Structures are given as structure tokens and as C-alpha cells.
Structure 1
């Protein structure tokens, strides 16, 4: 690590960055905010749902008051009608990183999306954008014929991807078919031709907040109830009124599908809330597993000792 501290590194814009990951509701945003105030940093969103403008409450984005305390980037900057891919996020993250360096600020990337962190530190496949006409055609076939028919079509055109994907995984099957239809190449082929990482090894320190599971699940449950009290249902109602494609990422944010079902009269408010809580708990469990296997360079730290971990960086 160049420089005597993270604060010095940030001020001299030497390329060092701080990465804070962890499961949902683990306290990542509060830690990032405190460190950004201490180090003169900028907080850069690394969560695939918090990019969407329509979903401040249900995705637990920082409040306007928190955003006013230090610079925040890539929060709520994408409309829900847009599919913000990992590639699009990397482009935006590169601009935010360059801005932080130009201002001699410490870049603090914070979030729970493992793929975004992996793209940041390992690089990303060079899949070109899929034309909207092809995407619309594939999704129309998905709605008309069902996911099993699309998986069978994918098996004929891209056997490697079809074998890797679950036959009922609507989003990934559609994505793989879109890519092979648009480019004539499979996703497996594209993944071999990757883009370099924004932050190569040695250019960052990476922390994974790892709370005790039962305490985390209790926080998740309490936070979902607090979201409802803060207006999450009204936020989802406004989103539903737009009539967007249900396959769009924003339409699948944790809690959104269940609350839409409640608004349609299919289930009660409490049933929707319990589905949202359960989905979020399951997601947190997957985050632990994903980071453990995919990004072992992250240092796992209990939330109650995270400030002490940071003190060592600022020494």
C-alpha cells in the first residue's frame, strides 16, 4: 500500500480504494458514511437495486440527509424502465472513480452485489449491448411459449449455457438466448474475452461485514417493517402503475413482487410483508456463500469490530 494511511492515499489520489461489502442490513452504509467523513471520501454505490430512481425506500438507499453529509455517487441515477447491467454499472463506476481521484478523495465502494465487486476487481466479460428489438422478441416468446420452450431453444443454439442454467430460470435463460441471437456467440465464449478490472490487486482494501446470522435476520425483519411504515407500499404502487416489463431488475427487487400482488388483491399486506422478509433473508444467506467462494480476498469482519479494523487503516 502506498502512503502512510488511507486518508493520505485518498488525498494524493494514488489509486487506492476502499471496498465495503456484506449482506443486506449489516450496517455497510453507516460504516461507509462514517469513514467517508473521516477520510474526506466519496461513497460509491455498489448495489444493483439502489441504482434505481424509483426505489429509495424498498432498497434502503441512504436518506437525502445522509447523502448531504458526504458526496454519494450512483444512487438512484437509473430509471426503473432501464435494465442496468453490470457493464453499464462498471462504465458509471469508472467515471465516479476518476472523479474521486481528480478531487483527491478516497473512493469508498459500498454495497452487497457480488457481481459488481467482482467486475470491479476481476474484470468483466465483453458482451456487447443487445439490440432492443432482439430483447423484445425473446421476451415476447418467453411470455407466449414459457421458459421451458426457451430453454429448449437455448439448448439447440448454445448447449453450454443451457447445461449451466436451470430450465426455469427465466431471467438468465432469456439473457443467454438474447446474447446468442444478437452476436452469434455464446455467453461462455464472451466470458473468455474479458475487460480488465477497474481496481487490480494491490489497488484496494476490501472488507466484508459478517454479522451473526440470527441477529442479522432479526434486523432484516425489523427493517422491512420499518420500510412499510416509511412508505414502501406507496413507492411500489407508483412503480406498478407504470406498467413496466416484470422481467426488469427493478420489478424484482426484494419485496416488490409480493407488494404488487398485495396491491392487486391477491394476498394480504402481512402476507406480502412476510414474503418480502423471507426473500431478503434468503438473499442474505446467498450473499455470505457467494463472497466466501467468489471473492476470498475480502477480509471478513464482525460489524462491532469494523471500526477497529478501520482504525488500523488510518494509523
Structure 2
């Protein structure tokens, strides 16, 4: 019997609404659901609107952990996230609760659910040198360098993804770069720390596009740009600045934020549809209300 429900999918698909509906049904069965965020940026206080973290009303309906636990000035790694998330999940299970792990796709969700074979940190000065070269030469040149060194790895990294390019070059400098890029089958297996149902929400692309545009407009109306400006003034860390839309809203460019978010969601959908089933259970949310989806997940 699964002890954990892991609910994931592209940004804007409606994960929080489905998690709330699932939690309502679990409580009606006498269970005590608790959500655990598997979002790398929702950990930051002061970026709740920008990162789409559960709001006050949603948290009153369902307890959420791993949200707003760090100042925007803090740096945060996947290893630190994994340690904290494991501790929270284990505590929920120990107290007789049902964890609902809610996230997008990829590494942080996997980090919450399994023991990762994490790569070593960079040697002193390597990251700083590579970042200087990145600023001088640009992401395209650095990506081309990576393609010369590890073509298969480079193919799996977007040429504009500055963070992943630099991290791959760091690992290459230490001789710790894998020859093959991560595949869905390597990221998603049944080898989780606790019995887990992996539930992947998908949505028709045009519907998802409309939902993303509406979501961005709602974020801006709720003060997302003000959050970004305040975070910059406070000295937001490099990791906090990776929040989707941070750079665009610094420039006041809402349309650029929509474009980038749609592009990111398309990549997430493509990745999701390559995941093996089983263990992943794909759930098409198109034209379905959250409670209908929750009923399908829990069997009525």
C-alpha cells in the first residue's frame, strides 16, 4: 500500500488545486494529509506569489511544508533540499500522516522521494572562473565548449540554461561528468525511500498555454513584480534569482515572462510524456475539475 502520493506536472497545470481536492477526500476517509513542496524556489520567503506557493487560504485547508523556510539571500542546493524533505516526510509518516509531495518535474521531486547519488561540489574558484567566462563570452559559447567536451550531455541542456551549463563544466573540470545525460528511466524508477504513487498531471497544450497566461497575469496583479524588486533590494541570492520570471519582472516585461513560462512548460510536458508507465501514472487533466481528478486517483 503506497504511503506517499507524489503529484507532479508542468507549471500552470493545477497541481495545488488537485492536491487540495485529494486532501479533502483523504480526510473524509479519516487520514491526515500533509503537503510537502518539491519546488526548488518555493523555499524562499518573499517570493510566494512569483513561485506559485500555496496561499494562506490554501495552507489553512491543507498544511504545506518546505514553503517559505529560507530568506531570499540564502543559497540552497538539492542536497540541502533532500535532507530537509526526507526529514519532513519521515516525520509525517511517523505521526501517522499521509504525505502528498507536490512539485513540477525533475530533480527536486526525485530528491524528495529517493536517495540521490549527488555529484561533488566544485573545487574552490572553479565556479567563479566559469561564471566570469560566462559573463564575458555568453551562454552560447560556453554551451559550444561543453558540446566539444561532452556532446551527449550538451544535447540534454538548453543552450540558454546558464546554471546547468556551468554546473556541467564544473563537473567536467573535476572529471565527474557522466558520459550519458540523465534519462527519464534513470530519474523515475520504483526505487523510492517509501512506497509511493507517482501521479503525472498533463494538459492539452493550448489549454495549458491559456492557463499559464492567466496565471502570470494573476501573479502580477497580486504583486509578483513588487516581490522581485524587494528581493533584489534585499540582496537575493543567485539561487533565488533563478525563480521563473524573476529576470523578466525585474525588467517589467510581463510578456517575456509568459513566453519563458510557456517554453518551460512545453519542455516539462515533453519530459513527462517520455516517462515509463508504470511506475508513473499519467493523468490527463484536460476538461476535468480537481475533485473529479482526485476521485480518479483515489478510486471514487
TM-score normalised by the chain length of structure 1:
0.77
Q: Higher relative contact order by CA 8 Å / sep ≥ 6: 1 or 2?
A: 2
- The whole-number CA distance in structure 2 between the counterparts of 1:157 and 1:283 is 26
- The corresponding residue for 2:5 is 18
Higher percent of residues as helix: 1
Q: Which runs of 5 or more residues in structure 2 are unaligned?
A: none
Alignment of 1:71-110 (within 5 A): 71-110=63-102
Q: Which residue of 1 aligns with 2:282?
A: 299
Distance 1:134-1:228 versus aligned 2 partners, 3 A rule: same
Q: Structure 1 residue aligned with 2:267, among 271, 286, 296?
A: 286
Q: Distance in 1 between matches of 2:49 and 2:97?
A: 28
Are residues 187 and 242 of structure 1, via their aligned partners in 2, closer, same or farther at CA, if it must alter by over 3 Å?
A: farther
Aligned partners of 1:62, 1:166: CA distance in 2, in Å? 29
Q: CA deviation at 1:196?
A: 11
Q: Which whole-Å CA distance do the structure 2 matches of 1:121 and 1:165 have between them?
A: 24
SS of the aligned residue for 1:300 comes to strand
Please give the secondary structure, in 1, of the residue aligned with 2:43.
Answer: coil
Matched, 1:254 2:244: yes
Aligned partner of residue 283 in structure 2, secondary structure: strand
Unaligned runs of 5+ residues in structure 1 are 2-14, 263-271
Residue 151 of structure 1 and its aligned partner are, at CA, apart by: 4.8
Look up the match of 1:112: 104
- Counterparts of 1:116-265 in structure 2, within 5 Å, are 116-120=108-112, 124-130=116-122, 133-147=125-139, 150-151=142-143, 154=146, 161=153, 165=157, 169-181=161-173, 183-188=174-179, 200=192, 203-244=195-236, 248-262=238-252
Instruction: Tell me the residue number matched to 1:266.
Output: none
1:311 maps to what in 2? Answer: 295
Asked whether the equivalents of residues 94 and 198 of structure 1 are also in contact (C-alpha less than 8 Å), the reply is no
Deviation at 1:122, TM superposition (A): 6.4
Contact 1:176–1:186 (CA under 8 A) maintained in structure 2:
yes
Distance of 1:225 and 1:151 partners within structure 2: 33
Q: Does 1:65 align with 2:57?
A: yes
Alpha-carbon offset, residue 280 of structure 1? 1.5
Q: Identify which range, 222-231 or 207-216, moves more after superposition.
A: 207-216
Write out per-residue CA displacement over residues 113-162 of structure 1, whole angstroms, 9 at most, x where no aligned residue: 33333445565332123356432232223224444564566567667645
C-alpha displacement of 1:44: 0.5
Distance, in Å, in 2 between the alignment partners of 1:211 and 1:196 is 20
Could you state the TM-score of these two structures normalised by the residue count of structure 2? 0.80
What residue is the counterpart of 1:11 in the other structure? none
2:82 match: secondary structure: helix
Contact kept, 8 Å, 2:46 with 2:231, in 1: the verdict is yes
Equivalent of 1:56 in 36, 45, 48: 48
Which residue is equivalent to 2:14? 27
Larger C-alpha radius of gyration, 1 or 2?
Answer: 1
